[in-house]
Structure 1
Amino acid sequence: MTKTTERIALVSPSPGTQRHLLAHRYGRPGARPKAYLQASIHADETPAMLVAHHLMKLLDEADAEGAIAGEIILVPVANPIGLSQSLNDHLLGRHEASGGGNFNRSWPDLYPTLPTRVAGKLGRDPARNIDAVRSALREIAGELQPGNEFSSLRGALTRLAVDADIVLDMHCDDEALMHLYLIPQHWPEARDLSAEIGSRATLLAADSGGHSFDETFSTPWTRLAAAVGPETPVPPACLAATIEYRGQADTGDEINRPDAQALFRFLQRRGLIAGDPGPLPKPLCDATSLDATEVLRSPVAGIVCYRRALGAKVAKGDVIAEILNPLAEDPSQQRLSLAAGTDGFLMTRRQHKMVRPGNSIGKIVGTEPLASRQGYLLED
């Protein structure tokens, strides 16, 4: 058996308190391909942790059979800081309570010094260029300094993932269908991932604007390739993706065990685990541009009353929801309608139905880029 478990201590935030990560490693260190998977950097997104639990069982069995062909790192709980944050029995796992912001934003930018570090080391051989870039990225990640507990978490996770061929960041949404985020350079290469997990929407953006975890590892390759030009081939050698395992309520063995089995088959298809994964499932969607996905926001405070179900096809102008003001004295004036601004289908809805002005109440996946969707493309 090859499995080892590493306990990684984070910077202590206060006397008497210290948290840690557990990283489970399978296969020979340095073997290729390498996959890194982590669950719930947004600590309240519990389906991802249950998927990781079931995946670890499958990996343990494969390891016992000598079937691990590459290197796999699994972090089943990526955010012990967020797991410790609760108020009146409500877990607050999306934002760092000490002012660090969204746990999946503002990850380290590994690119700025990358061109200088690889200068004179790149040529016409893509494989040698990949090795040179990975070596430089490991150096950059190794130099990250932990100024506080949150930055030590970021640094530790970055170092585990930085040289992987595949990085899968596992999340969930509020109420949602299964969906997937990628950069365009990995489509249609990642069609097998989309099909295997049963993605209902696969959303592409070269840069979503938030410096999220997955783009920390995918975009340095594409930015460097653009800088050096086609005469010096730099492939997009890290397939990094964010997988959204439906909504927060979709947590259960009967749901998430098959999700883990799908990931296991994907790893088999990519050569990390020996064995026959069987035929690839039929894809449930094609990829669309993230800037064609409308984020519906409420302009007022009130109670969301939905008029369309998840997955419903909608046309521009269709009423998706109404916002009810429970204090309006005239019942005929209590509701404000929110209409779709594009054709598509309703991918997400809000779990907590009381909203404030500016809150997102859903996302509509369309096919035509929207003028309103430029620059920062994430919800926050």
Structure 2
Amino acid sequence: MQTREHLLLPPSLGTQRRVTSFHFGDAGASRKVYIQASLHADELPGMLVAFKLKASLAELEAAGRLNAEVVLVPAANPIGLDQRVLGQALGRFELASGQNFNRHYPALADRVFDALKDRLGSDASANVAAIRAELAQSLAELVPAGELQSLRLTLMRLAHDADLVLDLHCDFNAGAHLYTLTPQWPDVEPLARYLGSCAQLLAVDSGDNPFDEACSQLWLLLDQKGREHAEATGCAAPAIPLATTAVTVELRGQDRVEHDLAERDADALIAYLTERGFVAGDAPTLPELPYPATPLAGVEDLIAPHAGVIAFHRPAGFTVEAGDLVADVIDPISGAVSPLYARHAGMLFARVRDHYATPGMWVAKIATDLAFKTGKLLSA
């Protein structure tokens, strides 16, 4: 194992933060896995899972079982970890800008394709190598304008050439669930099975370029640009595969930071790496999938109509039927009680942690198989 430190742009005189990465296996290996935790710095289950993974990866490396370089970043957001106001952790948004730490990663498809469009051909492997080299060069040339931008660049520089990217998050109060690109679902389904994921949310563009899509969607865009260029020039379209599988893994809720769960999740991730061939050996038998994949555009948000106390009738991680009562929003002053019913059958995969509602706030989320949303599909 090698330990590397990546300095961020100092936000002020006399202070500088850093990201620490641990590198296992051969850095010259033909395959690479990148795993990071707690990009939203107040989402801590992934940090404990990364602690467990670090020990497991060290054992696998010592046993010669790693068939890839594995890069692990256990604490991906030192900025957010340092944001406490009146004792409360605020790790989702940077206080200086108000920006979500998991949005607005570099979108480089246009830049990379313009540099390579006359050099890409029918050899998919050669195209992947050329694209990754150009992507590395593009990322190296970008100059951050602030600490947050330097964090984004640091993480992208670590992950850009990975075959598999796992971004470990959690929700407020939730069952385990995940997000990935629609065409990647066949490759990701074993991970969902090993994790016991209750909801699998699929899209090709969720909006605002979150970290996972910055790593994977690039390849879809390059393939699209290659086809458009071929049609315009009368040439054959270059072979551009979806070379990076990226998944946002939501490890239940913010309060589920527990040794037994972290060990179970770390074992599930190692099982998935084994199933994908990044780790040598026989992968465990695949469990049943708890719930089918559904479109991210089909997530039903139950919204509070007024302020009040939220009293739930249903736990996260279980299915509901259309018409089921999920929660009440209760105004103890006026006596108003507003029941929130599921409009569609689906999986109730997430609930708010704070039981005080404000008007227009989402209270619970249900994964349904009806794609009815457009525009930005992720919450703020």
* Alpha-carbon distance in 2 for matches of 1:223, 1:342: 33
Query: Which deviates more, 273-282 or 256-265?
Result: 273-282
Q: Deviations along 1:198-227, whole A, 9 cap, x unmatched?
A: 211111000001211000011110011112
Is residue 287 of structure 1 aligned with residue 300 of structure 2?
A: no
Give the C-alpha shift of residue 82 in structure 1: 0.4
Q: Deviations along 1:20-74, whole A, 9 cap, x unmatched?
A: 1100011121312100000000000010100000000101111222222211100
Task: Supply the AA of the counterpart residue of 1:368.
Answer: L
Change beyond 3 A, Cα 1:172–1:152: same
Give the C-alpha shift of residue 165 in structure 1: 0.3
* Alpha-carbon distance in 2 for matches of 1:250, 1:92: 18
CA RMSD, aligned part only?
A: 1.4
Equivalent residue, structure 1, for 2:222 = 224
Contact 1:100 1:150 survives alignment (8 Å): no
Query: Which deviates more, 304-313 or 133-142?
Result: 304-313
Equivalent residue, structure 1, for 2:231 = none
Equivalent residue, structure 2, for 1:324 = 330
Is residue 158 of structure 1 aligned with residue 174 of structure 2?
A: no
Is residue 14 of structure 1 aligned with residue 12 of structure 2?
A: yes
Query: Which deviates more, 308-317 or 197-206?
Result: 308-317
Is residue 246 of structure 1 aligned with residue 252 of structure 2?
A: yes
1:88-237 alignment runs, 5 A limit: 88-229=86-227, 231-237=237-243
Task: Supply the AA of the counterpart residue of 1:179.
Answer: H
Contact 2:305 2:338 survives alignment (8 Å): no
Q: How many residues align?
A: 372
1:41-52 alignment runs, 5 A limit: 41-52=39-50
Query: Which deviates more, 170-179 or 305-314?
Result: 305-314
1:246-325 alignment runs, 5 A limit: 246-325=252-331
Equivalent residue, structure 2, for 1:359 = 361
SS of 1:226 mapped into structure 2: helix
Is residue 343 of structure 1 aligned with residue 338 of structure 2?
A: no
* Alpha-carbon distance in 1 for matches of 2:6, 2:346: 44
Q: Deviations along 1:235-289, whole A, 9 cap, x unmatched?
A: 1110011000011111111111110011112112222222222322232232111
Q: Deviations along 1:134-164, whole A, 9 cap, x unmatched?
A: 1121112112212111111111001000011
* Alpha-carbon distance in 1 for matches of 2:313, 2:302: 14
SS of 1:288 mapped into structure 2: strand
Task: Supply the AA of the counterpart residue of 1:19.
Answer: R
TM-score norm. by structure 1 comes to 0.94
Contact 1:295 1:360 survives alignment (8 Å): yes
Is residue 378 of structure 1 aligned with residue 378 of structure 2?
A: yes
Task: Supply the AA of the counterpart residue of 2:147.
Answer: E
* Alpha-carbon distance in 1 for matches of 2:333, 2:95: 32
Task: Supply the AA of the counterpart residue of 1:51.
Answer: V
SS of 1:323 mapped into structure 2: strand
* Alpha-carbon distance in 2 for matches of 1:207, 1:179: 18
Same amino acid, percent of matched pairs: 40
Contact 1:313 1:345 survives alignment (8 Å): yes
SS of 1:72 mapped into structure 2: strand
* Alpha-carbon distance in 2 for matches of 1:29, 1:314: 47
Contact 1:33 1:271 survives alignment (8 Å): no
Task: Supply the AA of the counterpart residue of 1:25.
Answer: H
SS of 2:110 mapped into structure 1: coil
Equivalent residue, structure 2, for 1:84 = 82
Give the C-alpha shift of residue 180 in structure 1: 0.8
TM-score norm. by structure 2 comes to 0.94
Query: Which deviates more, 215-224 or 267-276?
Result: 267-276
Q: Point out where structure 2 has 5 or more consecutive residues left out of the alignment.
A: 228-235
1:23-62 alignment runs, 5 A limit: 23-62=21-60
Contact 1:295 1:379 survives alignment (8 Å): no
Q: Point out where structure 1 has 5 or more consecutive residues left out of the alignment.
A: none
Equivalent residue, structure 1, for 2:370 = 368
